Amino acid sequence: MLPSTGRSSTDTSEGPVPGSGAGDEVVGDSGVGPGPFEGLEREIRLLIRRAQSSGASIARRVHPELDASAYPILAHIAERPGARGSDLATFFGVGRATVSRQLSRLAELGLVERTVDPEDSRGQRITLTPDGAARFDQARTSRVAMLEGALATWETEDVAQLARLLGRYSADIVAWKQSGR
């Protein structure tokens, strides 16, 4: 059994797991459920795994040759037109070289364009091309429709609360990492 989960190390199922519903607890061998941070770790782990498995299909909706890791970059640029490569590297917690390679590929595919930063001629501002924006909007609309279908039984306020809590989680994780702890 895995510590704190009550699941065996060979259990790789992606389906519902006892204890994964609201208010439920996964009970381990000791008969005691995990603490809130163990439960959170498990749910985040599953969320990441599921997001990774759907990432390639989402990226292909934007462009058949697009890498799965590029969709979040496109989303960030769509939300913040004129972002710099260094902004993207900081936001995603990756190296500038990694972002530069991804931006080069996005430019090759005609999804983004780079212009000289008027505030610093050494830097570049990145925006979506009209084609990139249209393709991204179409993929995002499809993803939102999937979420609406999957969460159709949820109250609208519950969806909004989940979005707020995930936003808070993301901001706090970034702040914690930046503090050097």
**What does the pLDDT look like over 89-136, one tens digit per residue?**
988 888 899 999 999 999 999 999 999 888 888 888 999 999 999 999
- Is residue 78 within 8 A of residue 128, CB to CB? The reply is yes
Residue type, 87: D
How much is the average pLDDT of 40-52? 89
Q: Residue 154 corresponds to which tokens in the numbers above?
A: 């949820």
Write the DSSP symbol of residue 158: H
Q: Residue 163 corresponds to which tokens in the numbers above?
A: 């979005």
Count of beta carbons in the 10 Å neighbourhood of residue 131 = 12
Instruction: Report percent pLDDT > 90 for the chain.
Output: 48
In whole angstroms, give the CA distance from residue 62 to residue 68: 10
- Angle of helix 85-92 relative to helix 70-79, nearest 10 degrees, comes to 120
In whole angstroms, give the CA distance from residue 85 to residue 91: 10
Which ranges of 6-155 would DSSP assign to H, the alpha helix?
A: 36-62, 70-79, 85-92, 96-108, 130-150
